[in-house]
Amino acid sequence: MSDRIDVRKTYKLYIGGAFPRSESAYSYEVTDTKGKFVANAALASRKDARDAVIAARKAFGGWSSRTAYNRAQILYRIAEVMEDRRPQFVQAVVQSEGLSASKAEKTLDAAIDRLVWYAGWADKVTQVIGNANPVGGPFFNLSTPEPTGVVAVLAPQESSLLGLVSVVAPAIVTGNTVVVVSSYDRPLPAVTFAEVLATSDVPGGVVNILTGSAATVAPWLASHMDVNAIDLTGIAGDATLATDLEVAAADNLKRVRRAPAAEPDWALDPGLEPMTAFLEIKTVWHPIGV
């Protein structure tokens, strides 16, 4: 019998492409579904949330100005790296969600496939929801979507991998940058995903991941004046918190993707709504013949 002591890992935050310790200096224990200790995770603070918003804002200009084709390539690269780290993701899903290894494999497959699916939409969504509008006069009237800006995302609490990918991918593929608050009880897939982002082609600051309590961190993100939108999908079923965050978001007229009554079935076809929720339509008039 080996008397070797396991190296216990403390996962850090992911902000601006780096892995800083939480400003709070606190962490919390992460256990598997049977209550066995797995790792420690950083407990994000208000200051960490502010730092993440600054990083997201700094990255927004460069990310939103990239071609849709390039953003598609980068999302596809994330899928490639996830495929390479398959055993680690499967273990994280088994520990976090209590699934069998075979079901965890299917969950991972679905998450990778969703990234590829959104990558395919990167250079198509503009043609689908933008258009040339008929007008009474000698003018071209053209509508085209533009990214909203910095989006705060509350990741689903139960579907810690597929749900996470399903709320992050549509926001970034359309040119937004995000600050994500991961599942509190099931952060392992999120911190593993952060390690994938750091070793893929995603520019620092495009995706920032905070571990900790949504009830503690989310109010600061909802009221932050440099956050343009907030996705409340991850707090499905928590009507009180959702209402409080919607009220806070009204301070600077944020776009709000509302929390559903129950967590969605993430395995279903998501449709276009997750992408269009954080796009704004710009309409341009131009005289014909000029």
Residue 191 lies in a domain: yes
- Per-residue model confidence (pLDDT) at position 152: 98
pLDDT bucket at 288, cuts 50 / 70 / 90: confident
What's CA 36's distance to the chain center, in Å? 28
pTM for this model (two decimals): 0.93
| pLDDT digits 0-9 by tens, 118-136 | 999 999 999 898 888 888 8
Distance CA 10, CA 38 (A): 10
| pLDDT digits 0-9 by tens, 32-70 | 999 999 999 999 999 999 999 999 999 999 999 999 999
CATH number (domain holding residue 79): 3.40.605.10
Average pLDDT over residues 170-194: 97
Q: Which domain holds residue 179?
A: 10-287
**203 within 8 A of 64, measured Cβ to Cβ:** no
pLDDT bucket at 191, cuts 50 / 70 / 90: very high
Helix pair angle (162-173, 188-198), 10° resolution: 40
Average pLDDT over residues 227-242: 93
* Model confidence at 87: pLDDT above 70: yes
158's CB contacts (< 8 A; 6+ apart) are 97, 183, 186, 263
Is 192 exposed, middle or buried, given 0-12, 13-18 or 19+ CB atoms closer than 10 A?
buried
Average pLDDT over residues 235-248: 93
23's CB contacts (< 8 A; 6+ apart) are 45, 47, 48, 51
* Model confidence at 12: pLDDT above 60: yes
Residue 5 lies in a domain: no
pLDDT bucket at 2, cuts 50 / 70 / 90: low
Among 47, 32, 165, 184, residue whose Cα is nearest residue 111: 165
Q: List, in sequence order, every residue forming a beta bridge with 177; answer none if it has no partner.
A: 150
The better pLDDT of the pair 242, 4 is held by 242
Distance CA 149, CA 123 (A): 18
Residue 254 lies in a domain: yes
Distance CA 86, CA 92 (A): 10
Among 141, 151, 190, residue whose Cα is nearest residue 64: 151
Residue 4 lies in a domain: no
Residue 1 lies in a domain: no
Residue 237 lies in a domain: yes
- Per-residue model confidence (pLDDT) at position 38: 93
- Per-residue model confidence (pLDDT) at position 261: 85
**255 within 8 A of 177, measured Cβ to Cβ:** no
Among 153, 39, 12, residue whose Cα is nearest residue 96: 39
* Model confidence at 1: pLDDT above 60: no
Alpha helices in the chain (DSSP H): 46-64, 68-84, 86-97, 101-121, 125-129, 162-173, 188-198, 214-223, 239-249, 273-276
- Domain total for the chain? 1
| pLDDT digits 0-9 by tens, 132-158 | 888 888 888 888 899 999 999 999 989
